[in-house]
Amino acid sequence: MKHILTAKQFTVPEINHLMDQANWLRHHGRVAKRHEGVLATLFYEPSTRTRLSFEAAMHRIGGSVISVENANNSSATKGESIEDTVRIVGQYADVIVLRHPEVGIAARAAAVSPVPIINAGDGTGEHPTQALLDIYTVKSHHGRVSGLRYCLVGDMKHGRTIHSLIYLLGLYQDIHITLVTNGKLALPDEVLNFITTKAKISQTESLEQAIREQPDVVYMTRFQRERCQAGNNIQYDFRLTESLMDQLKREAVILHPLPRQQEIPSCLDTDPRCVYFRQAKNGMWMRAALLVEAL
């Protein structure tokens, strides 16, 4: 059974295969609609893109969807364990996409699930399918993932998309990553130690300085205030501006897993280097590819 629990489980040939599959599905609309099966989406945390793109992907490949939009309204309120919920939902569905506030919950669910579990975000842990669509977006713009300079910006402590993206970047050659954050929102040691042995890493608190280094990919993220203790007074002023965009090279791309807050003002949306809406669309095709594999 092919669970998707962490970005660490992938190899470059597997990612290439998924990207080819995503491209194929994108261009073969009706023929692609031959995958029977039922997807269950089980979300214990808010979501727009992840849940809807998985559901849209399932419809586009010909399958059907059952969904608990706010799984906190499910039998969880009656004290049912995640294990029991998954054992039951696995009787109805052929694959389960799970989002939950607890780190490691997807692995717990996978241990008892009769069908594949896809981790759609486990608290501050990981978000592997987001990282796959991020890499897919980089590849479709630059033609490669290796040999590029990446600038990752924002809340690295709570940002599960950054954790998973770093695990995938560790698979590629000749990568340079600048981490732009402040001390209170720094990358967990486990992720930092992993990547320091595999890529050239530099760290700064200055987005201006990082932009001056001419990155090929700028990956912005929001401050995850909801994951911080109340009253925790953390400064978060990483914000792209027109003058920073002027300093960036013409071929660079700006990515964001979304939702955004103030870190990318909407006046920049028409800049062709801002590809986050296309990135979200790529997510649907990458997830379609993942579902085809899971089924």
Catalytic residue numbers?
A: 49-50, 78, 99, 127
Which residue, 6 or 50, is less far from ligand NCD as judged by CB? Answer: 50
Which residue, 32 or 49, is less far from ligand NCD as judged by CB? Answer: 49
Residue 2: strand, helix, or coil: coil
| Cβ–Cβ < 8 Å for 124, 158 | yes
> In the bound complex, what is the minimum distance in angstroms from residue 33's beta carbon to ligand NCD?
26
User: What x-and-dash track marks residues 191-230 binding ligand NCD by CB under 6 A?
Assistant: -------------------------------x-x------
Which residue, 32 or 275, is less far from ligand NCD as judged by CB? Answer: 275
For residue 121, state whether it binds ligand NCD (rule: CB under 6 A).
Answer: yes
Which residue, 140 or 224, is less far from ligand NCD as judged by CB? Answer: 224
Which residue, 74 or 224, is less far from ligand NCD as judged by CB? Answer: 224
98-101 long-range CB contacts below 8 Å, 24 or more apart? 98/42, 98/43, 98/122, 99/42, 99/43, 99/44, 99/45, 99/47, 99/50, 99/51, 100/44, 100/45, 100/71, 101/44, 101/45
- Residue 238 gets which letter from DSSP? -
For residue 258, state whether it binds ligand NCD (rule: CB under 6 A).
Answer: yes
What is d(CA 14, CA 102) in angstroms, rounded to the nearest whole number?
27
Tell which positions 69-98 bind ligand NCD, by CB under 6 A. none
What is d(CA 110, CA 23) in angstroms, rounded to the nearest whole number?
28
For residue 257, state whether it binds ligand NCD (rule: CB under 6 A).
Answer: yes
Which residue, 49 or 149, is less far from ligand NCD as judged by CB? Answer: 49
> In the bound complex, what is the minimum distance in angstroms from residue 156's beta carbon to ligand NCD?
12
Query: From the list 3, 60, 157, 160, which residue makes contact with ligand NCD (rule: CB under 6 A)?
Result: 160
> In the bound complex, what is the minimum distance in angstroms from residue 219's beta carbon to ligand NCD?
11
Residue nearest to ligand NCD (CB): 257
Phi, psi of 41 (to 5 degrees): -105, 130
Phi, psi of 42 (to 5 degrees): -125, 100
What is d(CA 248, CA 191) in angstroms, rounded to the nearest whole number?
27
Query: From the list 60, 100, 108, 127, which residue makes contact with ligand NCD (rule: CB under 6 A)?
Result: 127
> In the bound complex, what is the minimum distance in angstroms from residue 161's beta carbon to ligand NCD?
5
Query: From the list 21, 41, 67, 130, which residue makes contact with ligand NCD (rule: CB under 6 A)?
Result: 130
Q: Which residue has the tokens 């099966």?
A: 37
For residue 50, state whether it binds ligand NCD (rule: CB under 6 A).
Answer: yes
What is d(CA 152, CA 203) in angstroms, rounded to the nearest whole number?
10
What is d(CA 54, CA 248) in angstroms, rounded to the nearest whole number?
33
Number of H helices, E strands in the chain: 10, 9
Binding footprint of ligand NCD on the chain (CB under 6 A): 49-50, 121, 127, 130, 160-161, 222, 224, 257-258
